[in-house]
Structure 1
Amino acid sequence: MELCSLRFAFVLALLLYPCFAAARGGDRRPISLLGQMDDEGWMLSRHLLEDQPLITDEMVSGYMSNSELEMAIKEFGRRCSNISRVYSIGKSVNSVPLWVMEISDKPGKDEAAPSFKFIGNVHGDEPVGRELLIRLANWLCDNYMKDSLAMMIVKHVHLHILPTMNPDGFALRRRGNANNVDLNRDFPDQFYPLNDRLESRQPETRAIMNWVKERRFTASASLHGGALVANYPWDGSQDTRKEYVACPDDKTFRYMANVYSHSHYNMSLSKEFEGGITNGAFWYPIYGGMQDWNYIHGGCFELTLEISDVKWPKSIELPILWEYNRLSMLNLVASLLKAGIHGRILSSQGGHPLPAAVKVEGIDYTVFATRTLGDYHRLLAPRESYEVVASMPGFQSKRTRVVVEDEVTSLDFILIPEGEDSVKQDEILNNYICSCGGKDKLELVEFLRGTHFEIYLFIFIVVVFLFYLLKRKKMF
C-alpha cells in the first residue's frame, strides 16, 4: 500500500511539473494528455521534462536588446526608404511595439502581388530568428540592384518581416511572454476547442491574428530554435497520438519544406528527420499553434522552421547561422512565384474585381480573390496538372485545367453574370485571355470594356466631326 502511494505521488509530481521542450517547447494541453506514450515509448510531448540551461549574461552578450533592435529597424527604414516602410501591428504585454519591415518596390501600396511574412522570436528564449531577420532585410536593401533573386523578391513580392513577436520573453530570458504564456499554444485550434477562449488571448497573439486577416498573406514562416528541421501542418491530431496527420495541401507543404531544407547548408542531411522536413503531428502533436491557424483561418501557408540546434547559441555563431539559412529564406519567398497559379477574377460587365472563390479539384481547400483588385494566389506543388474552378454567387462558374511548372503560371478568370448569352461572351473572352510571356491580354479587355469604351467612342465621334468641319471649310 505504501509502495502504491509512492508511485501515485511520483506520477502526480510528473504531471504537475512545469513543462518545457527543446525545440517546439511547452504545452498548454490538458494534463491528461501529457503522460501518454507513443508506440516507441517516447513521451507524446517530446522533451517536455528536459531541464533548460540558464541563460547567462555571457550568452546574451552580442545579441541586440529590444531597444537596439528597434533602432536597427528604424535605421533600416531610413536607409532603404525607396523599397521599404516600417509599421507596427500592436504592442506586447509590456507595451513594446511589434515593428514590421515591409520590403517591396511599391511598399504600402495595394497591388496584385503575393505577400509573404517572416516572424521571429515567437519564444523568448529562441533569439536567433530576430538576428537573422534584420540581416535579411539589410541584405535585400544592399543587393536588390545586384542580385537577380533579391530583385525578383523586391519587384514581385510584398515581404513583411516581424523580427520579434515576443520582446518581453526575450528581455526576461524565458520562453513565454510577460504573462508566462507560450504564444505558440495561444491560437484557436481545430482539435482543441477549449483554446478558443477569446478573452484569454494574449495581446501578441491578437496582433498577429488581426494582421493576418488584414493583409491576406499568401505564405509565411516562423523561425524557432532547438532543432534543425522544416515543420509543416498539421501540428495536432484528433486522438492526440504521435502520427502523420496530413492537411489538404500536404503535397504543397512538403514542396515548400523541401525548398527550405535543400537550400540550407545541412538541414536536408538530418539523420533524425528524413530530408530535413517533418509533419508536425508525426514529430509530436501540439495544440494552439500559429502554423495551423494561419492555414485554416488566414488562407496562409505557414511553415515552422527550426533553424538552430541550440536555442540560444553564442553570438559569435550568428554569422555562420546567417550564411547557412540565407539562401533558404530567399528561396522560400521566391517559391511564391514558382509554386502555384496567380491571376485576377473580374466581372464580364465592366471588368470589376470579384472576391470569388478558387478551388482545385481533389483538394478540400479554398482561397479567395481580394475585393479591391480581384487578385488571387493559389500555391500548388509544381510539375502537376490541376483542374481549377472559380465561382461566386450570382455568376456562372468557370473551370479550366492548367499545368504548373517551375515558373510563374498566370490564370485569369472573367465570370459572366447568370442569365447572359454565355456562348457569345465566351467567344469574345477566349480571344483575349491568354498568358504570353507572363503578360496577359486582360488589360486590353478592361480597356475596351464598359465606361472606357463609351468615353473613347464619344471622343472618336467628336474627332471625326471636327475633321469633317475642317475639310468642309477648306472646300469653301
Structure 2
Amino acid sequence: MITRMKLLFALLIVSLTLSSSLRPTFARGGQHAPLPSGFEYSSYVGSARHLFEENRSYISDEVAQGYMTNSDLEKAVKAFGQRCSNISRIYSIGKSVNGVPLWVIEISDKPGEEEAEPAFKYIGNVHGDEPVGRELLLFLANWICDNYLEDPLARTIVENVHLHILPSMNPDGFSLRRRGNANNVDLNRDFPDQFFLINEDADARQPETTAIMSWLREIHFTASASLHGGALVANYPWDGTLDKRRTYFRCPDDETFRFMASTYSRSHYNMSLSKEFKGGITNGAYWYPIYGGMQDWNYIHGGCFELTLEISDNKWPSANELPTLWEYNKMSMLNLVASLVKTGVHGRIFSSEGGRPLRGSITIKGINHTVKAGRTFADYHRLLAPGGRYEVMANVAGYKSRNTCIWLEEAAMTLDFVLDPEVTLNKGGSLPRSDCECDCGNTSKLEFVDFIWGSHLGVFVILIAVVGFLYLLLLRRRNINLSKHRHP
C-alpha cells in the first residue's frame, strides 16, 4: 500500500512539472470564449483545413500555362517600377533558398520616405502551389498605377498609405509546383509560435521566413494580409490553441479583426455568401489550429494586424480565370488597404517641453495589446472596430501618461497627445543642474541644498531648535558643577 502511495505521489509530481512547463497563453490575451454572434458550427466541421495539407497531385504544364514564371514575374515587377516610377519603388527583402530575389513593390506618393502614415503589406504565394495571389497582386499594382489620378479610392491609398506588395514569398515552391519551399518546408509553419517552443532557433529558419521577420523590424507595418488558395474565406487570429483543440480562440483584438475580415468579405463578389463560413470569415483556431504561422507572429511580435485570405476555391485554377478572380477580389483588396485611414484612431505623441515627438505607445483599456508609435514622427495608427466607446492612453517612459475617452464612429478619428515630464522643471524650463554637467559632485550638493531648503525647511528649523535647547541644558549643568567644585 505504501509503495502504491509513493508511486501515485511521484506521478502527481511529474504531471505537475510537465503542466507547469507549458507556456501560458493568457499573457498574450488568448482565451477560450463562447462564439461571437453569427458564428455557428456548420457542415464543414471535421473537414478541417484539409486544403492546407501537402498537395501531392501533379500540376501539369497545361494547367501551369499562362502563369508568370519567376523570371516573368521579376521582369513584370521591374517594368512596373519603370512605368510608375513617380509613385513606386522596387526593392528586395532577401533571397529564397535557391537564390531567387524576393521583390517588393512599394506604392506611395513619397515612396522610400518615412511619413506619418500607416504602412500595409500584401504577401502572395506563401505556398508554392497557390499562385493566384502572385498574379492578383500585379493586377492590383497596375490598376492603382492606371487609376490613382482619377479614382478616389486609389488616390486615397497613394496619398495616405505606404502599400508594400510582395508577389511571391515562395518562388522556389512555385517552380517546383509544390506547397513547401526548396527545402520542402511549409513557410506558414516556420515562424516562432506563441503556444509551443518551436522554430526558436534562428539558424534553422528558412531564408524566406528570416526575410519576412527582418522586414518587419525595418518597417513599422500597421496591417497586412497574405493571399492563399483552396477555400474562400477571410481568416483571423488566433490560429492555434494551447491544447491543440479545435475551438474559437480569440485574441485581444478579436472585434477589430472580425471587422477587418468582414471588410474584405463584404466587398468580395461572393465570399460573404459562403455556406461554409458564416459571413465569409473565420477564426483560425475554430477552423483548424496551426502552429508556427505567420499571421499570429505578425500580431504578437510586429504589432501588425494580419489576415490570412483564402481567395480561390481552386488552388491552381486555369490562367484564363485570373481576370475574373481579380474582378471578384479587386474591391476587397482596395478597401482593406484604405480601411487603415478610413477607420480607427490616429495621431501623434508630443512632449509639452518644446513639442518634440515622443516615441511611445498606445493602449486601449480592456484590450491587452500595445501599439507602438513610429520612430521619427511618433505617429500611431490604432485599428479599432467602429461604433464603440474606447479609453485611449498614451505612454512614454519618463512622462506622465495621459488618457481620454472617445466614441469611434464609422469614420476615422484624429487624436494627438501632449505629455508632461514626470520631473518638475524650474522656471527656465529645464532640469536644475550645475554649469558643468559632468560634475556629479556639484549635482549632489545642489540636490542636498534643495532637500534642506525645500519642503523640509520646517523640520530642519525644529531640529536646530531642539539641538540648541539641549546644548543650553548641557552648558547650564556644566556651570552648576563648576560652582560646586569652587564652593565645597
TM range (shorter): 0.7 to 0.9
1:141 aligns with 2:145: yes
Alignment partners' CA distance in 2, 1:155 and 1:136: 16
Secondary structure at 2:182's aligned position in 1?
Answer: coil
Secondary structure at 1:93's aligned position in 2?
Answer: coil
Distance 1:221 1:397, change over 3 A: same
Aligned to 1:87: 91
1:162 aligns with 2:166: yes
Secondary structure at 1:176's aligned position in 2?
Answer: coil
Alignment partners' CA distance in 1, 2:393 and 2:81: 41
Distance 1:40 1:171, change over 3 A: closer
| Deviation string, structure 1 residues 94-120 (Cα, Å, up to 9, x no partner) | 110000000000111111000000000
Structure 2 counterparts to residues 260-271 of structure 1, below 5 A:
260-271=264-275
Larger Rg: 2
8 Å contact kept, 1:227–1:309 = yes
Moved over 2 A (4+): 39-53, 419-422
Secondary structure at 2:326's aligned position in 1?
Answer: helix
Structure 2 counterparts to residues 239-388 of structure 1, below 5 A:
239-388=243-392
Alignment partners' CA distance in 2, 1:153 and 1:164: 22
1:118 aligns with 2:122: yes
**Unaligned stretches of 5+ residues in structure 2:** 1-42, 430-488
Instruction: State the Cα distance separating 1:168 from its structure 2 match.
Output: 0.4
**Unaligned stretches of 5+ residues in structure 1:** 1-38, 426-476
Instruction: State the Cα distance separating 1:87 from its structure 2 match.
Output: 0.5
Secondary structure at 2:290's aligned position in 1?
Answer: coil
8 Å contact kept, 1:357–1:368 = yes
Q: Which residue identity is paired with 1:154?
A: V
1:190 aligns with 2:173: no
Secondary structure at 1:278's aligned position in 2?
Answer: strand
Which of 190, 207, 210 is the aligned partner of 2:211?
Answer: 207
Give the number of equivalent residue pairs. 386
Secondary structure at 1:352's aligned position in 2?
Answer: coil
| TM-score, reference length from structure 1 | 0.79
Structure 2 counterparts to residues 440-455 of structure 1, below 5 A:
none
Alignment partners' CA distance in 2, 1:150 and 1:45: 34
8 Å contact kept, 1:338–1:405 = no
Which of 414, 417, 425 is the aligned partner of 1:413?
Answer: 417
Instruction: State the Cα distance separating 1:50 from its structure 2 match.
Output: 8.0
Query: What RMSD over aligned residues (CA atoms) do the two structures have, in Å?
Result: 1.9
Instruction: State the Cα distance separating 1:40 from its structure 2 match.
Output: 9.5
Which moves more between the two structures, 341-350 or 298-307? 341-350
**Identity of aligned pairs, percent?**
67
8 Å contact kept, 1:89–1:98 = yes
Alignment partners' CA distance in 1, 2:45 and 2:303: 36
Alignment partners' CA distance in 2, 1:216 and 1:195: 23
Aligned to 1:100: 104
Aligned to 2:157: 153
Alignment partners' CA distance in 1, 2:54 and 2:107: 39
Q: Which residue identity is paired with 2:87?
A: I
Distance 1:52 1:372, change over 3 A: same
Instruction: State the Cα distance separating 1:177 from its structure 2 match.
Output: 0.4
Q: Which residue identity is paired with 2:273?
A: L
8 Å contact kept, 2:49–2:287 = no
Q: Which residue identity is paired with 1:120?
A: G
| TM-score, reference length from structure 2 | 0.77
Alignment partners' CA distance in 2, 1:190 and 1:86: 33
Distance 1:129 1:148, change over 3 A: same
| Deviation string, structure 1 residues 28-56 (Cα, Å, up to 9, x no partner) | xxxxxxxxxxx998376646778643200
Alignment partners' CA distance in 1, 2:373 and 2:413: 16
| Deviation string, structure 1 residues 4-24 (Cα, Å, up to 9, x no partner) | xxxxxxxxxxxxxxxxxxxxx
Instruction: State the Cα distance separating 1:286 from its structure 2 match.
Output: 0.2
Distance 1:254 1:40, change over 3 A: closer
Alignment partners' CA distance in 2, 1:63 and 1:167: 13
Which of 57, 67, 75 is the aligned partner of 1:63?
Answer: 67
